[in-house]
Amino acid sequence: MIKIDAIDTQIIDLPTIRGHVLSMATMTEQSVVLVEVLFSDGSTGIGEGTAIGGLSYGAESPESIQSAIETYIAPAIIGMDGDAVNAARLRAQKAVVGNPIARCAVENALWDGLGKRLGLPISTLMGGAVHTGLEVAWTLASGDSDKDIAEALEMLERRRHRQFKLKVGKRAVRDDLAHVGKIKAALGDKAVITVDVNQAWDMHSARWGLKGLQDIGVAMVEQPIPAVQRSGLSMLSKSYEIAVMADEALRGPEDALNHARCHAADAFAVKIAQSGGLSPASEVIAIGKAAGLGLYAGTMLESGVGTAAALQLFSTVETLQWGTELFGPLLFKDDILTTPLRYADFQVHLPEGPGCGVTLDQDKIKFYRRGAPRQTPVKVSV
């Protein structure tokens, strides 16, 4: 039996190419928890745990992810059968309540290790890929209408993206609508426009906001009100033609089932980290599909490791009505993979090779590791 021998973690801090403006924070850096599982036969597996905006977005931070893994998950599963991924992830689930991102990072590393030992990609272990490339959206989040328009036109010209998500919610609804309307008018029918509010509106604002966005011609609005207000989200989804997507409200299969049961949304933004790993994310997908809801492959702004793991799962899904937003690696000034993921012809392409299909650039990891000495500063102040 090949046993789980050890689990190592480290935090790396990656600067972004520009300020990424959300309703609750402006990101100029992303902190990534990299996980390496070492097995008794000498093989290894890598995974990633990434939160957005520290604790301003959700209940997990890079520091808490690392602590949960080192203090609770690792002691619980070290010594277990390394090939028994389900047994190990279920043990980890019992060892920590919540902490889906920490559990996801470890589970991804276990799948990666198993795939490498078998010489197979994770997608094959999950039944086989039906797509080698997936439509990928880009988030316009500078907060400046003219900058966002210029950025979108450049992406269209380069054939990198033709669906754009706008981050709103930091300003008054009237100002947000003017911002979105200006961008939609500039792009016209050349691109699909969606909007993410990140829970920033109350119900009164959401009613006006959804009506305005619908009139502008926006295709979909994501999590306009707080995640706990499921009945409110249901009311909004039934009141407007614009599609309403649940995101932060989905913390795993149970949340997905409750939203599907009362038709609280028209679509699910499925995130492997928010779901707690590849296996529970596949359950969220199955629930959404069975309920006739649209599916969207979401991101926690992961680096290439987490993005590759997500691609392995979503490549096995027949229809993603809203595509994906697996653009995380493109948001950073540097890539930490020896061979970066390929973005071309409006798609992100499934990497080849066993496991997740990617390899870390150890020189880059050493440079960006938190606390490591650097010759040049990379952290940008807010």
Q: How many residues are there in the chain?
A: 382
Contact 35, 67 (CB under 8 A): no
Every domain of the chain with CATH number 3.30.390.10 lies at 4-119+361-368
**From first to last of its 382 residues, what are the pLDDT tens digits of the chain?**
999 999 999 999 999 998 776 666 677 899 999 999 999 999 999 999 999 877 777 789 999 999 999 999 999 999 999 999 999 999 999 999 999 999 999 999 999 999 999 999 999 999 999 999 999 999 998 889 999 999 999 999 999 999 999 999 989 999 999 999 999 999 999 999 999 999 999 999 999 999 999 999 999 999 999 999 999 999 999 999 999 999 999 999 999 999 999 999 999 999 999 999 999 999 999 999 999 999 999 999 999 999 999 999 999 999 999 999 999 999 999 999 999 999 999 999 999 999 999 999 999 999 999 987 644 433 333 3
Q: Could you give the angle at which helices 203-216 and 173-187 cross, rounded to 10 degrees?
A: 20
Contact 296, 324 (CB under 8 A): yes
Pairing of strands 267-270, 4-21: unpaired
DSSP string, 271-332: -HHHHTSHHHHHHHHHHHHHTT-EEEE--S---HHHHHHHHHHHTT-S--TT-B---GGGGB
Is 70 considered catalytic here? Answer: no
pTM of the model: 0.93
What CATH number labels 124-349?
A: 3.20.20.120
Among candidate residues 167, 184, 248, 302, the one labeled active-site is 167
CB atoms within 10 A of CB 141: 22
Integer Cα distance of 199 and 229 in angstroms: 10
Among candidate residues 48, 107, 222, 325, the one labeled active-site is 325
- For 14, the 3-state DSSP assignment is strand
| List of residues 6+ apart from 341 with CB closer than 8 A | 304, 307, 308, 311, 329, 348, 349, 351, 358
Which fold would CATH assign to domain 4-119+361-368? Enolase-like; domain 1 (3.30.390)
- Residue 290, token pair as written in the block: 């069975």
Every domain of the chain with CATH number 3.20.20.120 lies at 124-349
Is 167 considered catalytic here? Answer: yes
| List of residues 6+ apart from 334 with CB closer than 8 A | 14, 15, 364, 368
